[in-house]
Amino acid sequence: MKQLSEKYKKLLLIGLLSSLVLIATTVGVGIGVRSSHQRDNNNPRLSPETHLVLKSSCSSTRYPDLCYSAIASAPSTTTTKISTQKDVIAASLNLTTRAVEHNYFTVENLITTRKNLTVRERNALHDCLVSIDETLDELRMTLQDLLNYQHNDNNNNKGGKSLKNYADDMKTLISSAITDQETCLDGFSHNDADRHVRETLQSGQVHVEKMCSNSLAMIKNMTDTDMAAATTTKKNSRQLYANNDLGHQVFGWPHWMSSVDKRILQEGPTKVDALVAADGSGDHRTIAEAVAAAPVKSKKRYVIRIKAGVYHEIVDVGKKKTNLMFIGEGRTNTIITEKKNVIDGSTTYDSATVAINGEGFLARDLTFQNTAGPSKHQAVALRVGADLAAFYQCDILAYQDTLYVHKSRQFYVKCLIAGTVDFIFGNAAVVFQDCDIHARKPNPNQKNMITAQSRTDPNQNTGIVIQKCRIGATSDLQATKNSFPTYLGRPWKEYSRTIIMQSSISDVVHPAGWHEWEGEFALQTLHYGEYKNSGPGADTSKRVQWRGVRELTDVAEAQQYTPGNFIAGGSWLASTSFPFSLGL
């Protein structure tokens, strides 16, 4: 069992107090839901001003009764001034943080008191602690951004960020927090026995997820309103590109960037901070050792060069290891590989050969691999939850669940991703550009699913975008493709969103295009779009006739899913030194 964070050991007393607050809040929620019609007329605890702003702000959420009742019944509401939507969001975030702390200690208690836990249940509970830890950071960062946020796009926005950048960052953080709650519960879904532990945690996790959903809806409502009111001619002084009237990109370096920085970005990083070589000729024999030795919370790029070879190891880049970069000596020569899998006791989350959570991670010219094989079910080669992560000329190879695009904003260019069932899955905001995406030969009676996107809330800014890529089959599948149907994707969660655009799709893809998850689940709420694709598999005339499946014809709509818009690429992709295109 991995050691728990010292910071959360110190939260024990706070957690116990938070439990009392949460109980009081929960009681208040129950009372509030039962008597909302009375509350609409009068709440003696609240001033008329607070009552009105709270009702107005909560009206934009998916769970308005919970939104109102949780804040109205909190002891702090009578002592803290709430006069704006921003105040309501801050109160919601603070209450959510207390609920998350309570859930942390619930998980800890299960670990220490349940004596008959299986290996996978213990792994799943550890995954929950990691997810809850990350949720607390995401809520803290959202609150900090909220406090710095101003309602207009003038220079009085603190921190050097534009109104749009603040909006993108806050929506990304809360979208990730929602995903964290699902990740915790998903760890207990591999067999019936696991579900007993899941039931113990479910109410607390779902409560936090709903609270996060409400905060996200209010943030979206506030920022959308402010951006719509902003002058359309005003430009962000640090914008890296602009669109002309025809929608084409106009590239350029920002005026504030020095000539030295421009040269570094154009040529790519040259300074190597650590060399990994299995033969002992470098600074470290293993990649994990190099990661452990890297600085914590670095604001500068820290480059780890990996000499050619096959590295049989599990690599975990934790959230404190920021701005790391792995550079291999060729994608076919530099391979990180392992074979953890669900059948042998791992959770899907924990099965990753390489896991990335440190913000600003980059990788180029190497392979991430899981060799468990198709019979071992979920076995992840690469899991990425880091914000602003990018991969260039990398191979990502496995079978079921090859690439877990877990959360946050990600970009993949000139990569090869190969697998069988749901082999690109998760709830990140991610764009694949100029990549080769190949289905492999699965087990008998299996179907290949290229994507399984897992958006759970319609306000999350997440989805899988495949742009200017090549969707095909590996040689072993090509020879037997009629025996193993391959589909573009299926909905893992209710608001699943996947966009395929300007890509070449081979005849390996079934004419129906998309496949259900189970029965009618998510068929009315998913969003699957195809835009200007080519090849025999791009014919949309025989696609499934679900409400959310359609061919995109509006250029403006397609532009929403380009890197410049969907992952705020104009503010960070240039710093990767990787090639990219921001628009169509």
Say how far apart CA 290 and CA 283 lie, in whole Å. 8
DSSP class per residue in 54-122:
HHHHHTTSS-HHHHHHHHHTSGGGGTS---SHHHHHHHHHHHHHHHHHHHHHHHHHHHHH-SS--HHHH
Q: Is 168 a catalytic residue?
A: no
Q: Tell me which residue of 364, 468, 355, 463 sits closest to 403, measured CA to CA.
A: 355
Burial of residue 297 (CB within 10 Å: 0-12, 13-18, 19+) is: exposed
Say how far apart CA 94 and CA 71 lie, in whole Å. 10
Say how far apart CA 524 and CA 503 lie, in whole Å. 26
Say how far apart CA 486 and CA 549 lie, in whole Å. 17
Q: Tell me which residue of 454, 461, 453, 546 sits closest to 500, measured CA to CA.
A: 453
50: phi then psi, degrees, rounded to nearest 5:
-65, -45
Q: Give the pair of three-digit tokens for residue 428.
A: 């990140």
Say how far apart CA 387 and CA 93 lie, in whole Å. 20
Catalytic residue (one of 153, 422, 436, 457)? 422
- Do 341 and 351 meet the contact criterion of CB atoms below 8 Å apart? yes
- One-letter identity of residue 429: A
Say how far apart CA 349 and CA 124 lie, in whole Å. 8
Q: Is 422 a catalytic residue?
A: yes
- Do 440 and 450 meet the contact criterion of CB atoms below 8 Å apart? no
Classified as helix, coil or strand, 437 is strand
Burial of residue 95 (CB within 10 Å: 0-12, 13-18, 19+) is: buried
Please give the C-alpha separations between residue 233 and each of 118, 227, 247, 250, in angstroms, as whole numbers. 60, 12, 16, 16
- Do 423 and 582 meet the contact criterion of CB atoms below 8 Å apart? no
Burial of residue 446 (CB within 10 Å: 0-12, 13-18, 19+) is: middle
Q: Please count the other Cβ atoms lying within 10 Å of the Cβ belonging to residue 560.
A: 15
Q: Give the pair of three-digit tokens for residue 561.
A: 């899913």
* Beta-strand relationship, 241-243 and 249-251: antiparallel
Say how far apart CA 218 and CA 86 lie, in whole Å. 9
CA 53 to chain centre: 31
Say how far apart CA 202 and CA 279 lie, in whole Å. 48
Q: What radius of gyration, in Å, describes the C-alpha atoms of the chain?
A: 24
Please compute, for residue 404, the number of CA atoms within 13 A of its CA located in the half-sphere on the CB side.
Answer: 27
- Do 423 and 403 meet the contact criterion of CB atoms below 8 Å apart? yes
Catalytic residue (one of 401, 436, 507, 539)? 401
Q: Tell me which residue of 35, 227, 15, 228 sits closest to 107, measured CA to CA.
A: 15
Q: Which residues are catalytic?
A: 401, 422
